[in-house]
Amino acid sequence: MNEETYYQEIEHLIKRQEINKRVRTLEGNNDMVTTYWHIGKLLVEAQGGELRAKYGNELIKKWSIKLTEQYGKGYDYTNLSRFRRLYLCFPILGPVAQVSWTNIVKIIPIKDENKRNYYVNLCIANNLSKRELIKEIKTNSYERLVNKPEKIDIITTSKYTITTNMKDPIIIEVDKEIISEQDLELSILANLDFFFKQLGEGFLYAGHQYKISDGNKNYFIDILLFNVKLNCYIVVELKLRYLKKEDKAQMEYYMKLVDEQFREPYHNKTIGIIITKESDKLIVNFIKSEEIMPNFELIIINKR
């Protein structure tokens, strides 16, 4: 195709997109992102392919002036460059079309492919808002991944399964200084959704100060969770001091009671999390099958 033909193809896509804005449905975002991707593909082809497209911007400058005059600033130089970048980042669009355009704008400047794919997957799996995505990026969610895979592919609906995606360090934002275990508990509960994303995916809230009894005495679990990926209950205990042997013994007893009273035959054994304080750091200690698993640092950030 010659230059004029490419321009006509792009203009046709834009006309259809502008009409669709008036009849936007749930499928609207997919259509919008798909349209922008196709515009980006045509721009790359019109510039002579991917290698030349990295350097030649004169065509985009010329066409952005004409398209902005006809259809508004949504097709200015900045956005046409984003459309091109979208295609260059994701030559096969696939599930990326499920991600909102506002989130894609935040993802495509990321140069590392694995990192881009990680945030795309996070958006798809958790339906992240723009604000939530920005928060994940600012807190270095990808960099804090434990056991980071060498290759991260875009997930598809058919093969998607919930993964733990544990972060290290784990981060909690609070509104006031943490001076007691109750302060820490309330801060975690107030930011439960974000706390879950730090622990990984698949966590569900069961309750706090959850009463459990051995028949002779009542006990109160600070926070009780369930994880659908691990298929087990998770007991969370908070101690603003160093970890003691009796803490591990107490946790194992709570885990035993939960297994006896709540665990179904198809559930895995309960896991324990003890958050303790060592020097000036909070440490997340995982306990499973009578052993302490690798520990992670918990960072408290005061939002004020």
CATH for 187 = 3.40.1350.10
The pLDDT assigned to 90 comes to 95
129: in domain: no
Verify that 298 and 178 share a domain, yes or no: yes
Least confident of 34-43, 152-161, 211-220, 271-280: 152-161
Highest-pLDDT range among 127-131, 257-261, 295-299 = 257-261
Verify that 297 and 175 share a domain, yes or no: yes
Which one of 25, 55, 89 terminates a domain? Answer: 89
The pLDDT assigned to 169 comes to 61
Verify that 76 and 177 share a domain, yes or no: no
The pLDDT assigned to 159 comes to 36
Q: Give 145 or 105, the one with higher predicted confidence.
A: 105
Q: pLDDT digits over 14-49, tens only?
A: 877 766 555 444 445 677 888 899 999 999 998 877
Strand partners, 298: 170, 282
Residue 152 structure tokens: 């991260």
| CA separation for the pair 51, 112 (Å, rounded) | 18
Q: pLDDT digits over 225-262, tens only?
A: 888 777 889 999 888 888 888 888 899 999 999 999 99
Strand partners, 284: 275, 296
201: in domain: yes
| CA separation for the pair 148, 298 (Å, rounded) | 19
Identify whether the C-beta of residue 77 lies closer than 8 Å to the C-beta of residue 59. Answer: no
Please give the backbone phi and psi of residue 145, each rounded to the nearest 5 degrees, phi first.
-60, 135
266: in domain: yes
Residue 189's H or E segment, with its range, is: helix 181-190
Q: What is the pTM of this model?
A: 0.57
Q: 297 pLDDT exceeds 60?
A: no
The average pLDDT across 134-147 equals 89
Verify that 83 and 185 share a domain, yes or no: no
Other CB atoms within 10 A of residue 111 CB: 8
Strand partners, 302: 174
The pLDDT assigned to 176 comes to 63
Which one of 89, 115, 138 terminates a domain? Answer: 89
Least confident of 1-15, 37-51, 118-132, 172-186: 172-186
Verify that 275 and 186 share a domain, yes or no: yes
57: in domain: yes
DSSP string, 41-64: HHHHHHTTSHHHHTT--HHHHHHH
Residue 238, SS3 per DSSP: strand
Q: 104 pLDDT exceeds 90?
A: yes
Which one of 54, 89, 124 terminates a domain? Answer: 89
Angle at which helices 58-71 and 3-20 cross, to 10°: 40
Verify that 177 and 73 share a domain, yes or no: no
Residue with tokens 């360090």: 169
Task: Report the domain count for the chain.
Answer: 2
| CA separation for the pair 10, 41 (Å, rounded) | 10
| CA separation for the pair 145, 117 (Å, rounded) | 14
Whole-number mean pLDDT of the chain?
80
85: in domain: yes
Q: Could you tell me the residue range of the domain that residue 34 belongs to?
A: 3-89
Listed residue (8, 144, 14) closest to 79, CA to CA: 14
Q: Give 96 or 295, the one with higher predicted confidence.
A: 96
Tally of CA atoms within 13 A in the half-sphere of 79 that contains its CB: 19
The pLDDT assigned to 167 comes to 60
| CA separation for the pair 295, 135 (Å, rounded) | 24
Residue 235 structure tokens: 């007991």
26: in domain: yes
151: in domain: no
Verify that 186 and 275 share a domain, yes or no: yes
Residue 129 structure tokens: 């808002």
229: in domain: yes
